[in-house]
Amino acid sequence: MVKKVIKSIEELRRIRAEVDGLDEEYVKTGRGHESEYTVEYADYICDLVSTNALSLKSLQLKYDIPSSVALFKWMHVYPDFANKYEKAKVLQAKIMFDKISEVTEQLKSYEDKEGIERADPGLVAMCKLKATEYRRLASQLEPKKYSEHRHLEETTSALHDEIVAQRRKLDALSKRDY
């Protein structure tokens, strides 16, 4: 393996642009391309986000949308875009959660020589990893709905109510008239 000495930041950006498929603007500035904000373009971007389980970087490469820096600037300058983008991310969380069932449907079983139903361990591990990742992403995008902490809080609250009820019952049984 031949190691190449990188002598400038531009050379490093050019190599990264080749590997990640970034445009020439990235090589010059270190950021993706800038674009003018229009309501129609912002709606288009929000539609892409809300209908795909892809990351923002993947969407940028696939659909040639502006850089993350430009989008975050837009969110800061245009509150309407920030609200639409937030709603799009909530919808994206639903898509990611739905992807979990798609991933588990990919798991196919077979019967071995003795007639026992089995599954390919590598495929099981891959499906488990994908499902876990989709769940993690969905819980980050919509924590109130998809987070495991929500279930823990509900369980804790139910247990607390049950403990309080049991304590009252025991207090009533152990109450003495003096």
Query: Are the C-beta atoms of residues 90 and 142 closer than 8 Å to each other?
Result: yes
**Residue 57 is encoded by which pair of tokens?**
């970087």
Tell me: do 125 and 156 sit in the same domain. Answer: yes
| Residue with the two structure tokens 């500035």 | 29
Tell me: do 8 and 91 sit in the same domain. Answer: no
Number of structural domains found in the chain? 2
Tell me: do 18 and 63 sit in the same domain. Answer: no
- Compute the distance between CA of residue 112 and CA of residue 141 in angstroms, rounded to an integer: 41
- Compute the distance between CA of residue 128 and CA of residue 143 in angstroms, rounded to an integer: 20
Question: Which has the higher per-residue pLDDT, 157 or 65?
Answer: 65
Tell me: do 70 and 16 sit in the same domain. Answer: no
User: Does 94 map to a domain?
Assistant: yes
User: Does 178 map to a domain?
Assistant: no
Quick: pLDDT tens for 123-147: 778 878 777 877 777 777 777 666 6
CA 128, 132, 138, 144 torsion-angle sign: positive
Query: Are the C-beta atoms of residues 85 and 71 closer than 8 Å to each other?
Result: yes
Domain holding 5, by residue range, is 1-30
Quick: pLDDT tens for 47-105: 999 998 888 888 888 887 888 888 888 999 999 999 999 899 888 888 877 777 777 77
Tell me: do 67 and 130 sit in the same domain. Answer: yes
Tell me: do 6 and 77 sit in the same domain. Answer: no
User: Does 114 map to a domain?
Assistant: yes
